[in-house]
Amino acid sequence: MTFPFERRGALMLAAGLVLTAGGALAQSSKPAPAAPAAPAQSDQAAPPQAPAPVKLDLTPMQAPWTKICGKDQASNKEVCYTTRDFGQSADQPPTLAIAVYQMSNEDRRIARFLLPVGLLLRPGFRLVIDKGDPIEGKFAICFPNGCFAEADLDGKKLADLKKAQVASVIVRNQANIEVTFNLPMKDFGDTFDGKPVDPKQLEQQNQELQKQLEQRAEDQRKKLEQQQSGGAAATPAPAPAATPAK
């Protein structure tokens, strides 16, 4: 069974987010408290405090959730998935994508995520719906632009997700620091139970999203060029070499 991601924006991940922004946030944790006074002969420095976990509240990159249906070539059954991309802000590439799958005449549902690269794969990830018990998930495969991870959802977990306010994806980065991505789930249930999007409408949405991404990339390029030209102008010219006395 294959699980495609139709959202092109989901493939444009901010791969360094968990390593750079996450690491920077972790370094801002409070220093360890001073150790109590001790005799001189046993006076030792207090052990360093472990970096604090990082929590990132993501925002939707598209206005609505999108439900897509089609035939799975391997099983010849209809499969539907409800998907959305999330990022830190509208002017940045998506950080994470979620798609919840359901195949016709089957009770199995799968929550699949496209996550940034640079995460520890062996611990897997945890999915927490609102403040419920964590659901354990595993990484499936990684590509240069992101890693796919999956978790199975039973009927109760799916019902919880459909009425949830927030879903949290908990992972660990290369520094073994816990990173939590909080995803707003408003309107997910209505879209999951509703009708799928028309293929022509989906194609139009993808084209519009592609234009937005290209425009953002162009704006970033111009901004970088302006910064570089400004820095070059601010650098004084080197002083001429002194003329030796005759």
- Which pLDDT does position 139 carry in this prediction? 98
Alpha helices in 108-198 (DSSP H): 155-162, 188-193
Residue 141 gets which letter from DSSP?
Answer: E
Low-confidence ranges of the chain (pLDDT < 50): 1-39, 42
- Which pLDDT does position 183 carry in this prediction? 98
- Which pLDDT does position 24 carry in this prediction? 28
Name the CA radius of gyration of the chain, rounded.
24
Domains and CATH numbers, the chain: 8-27+51-200 (2.60.40.1880)
Tokens of 173: 């980065």
The dihedrals phi and psi of 232, each to the nearest 5 degrees, come to -65, -40
Pairing of strands 54-57, 178-184: parallel
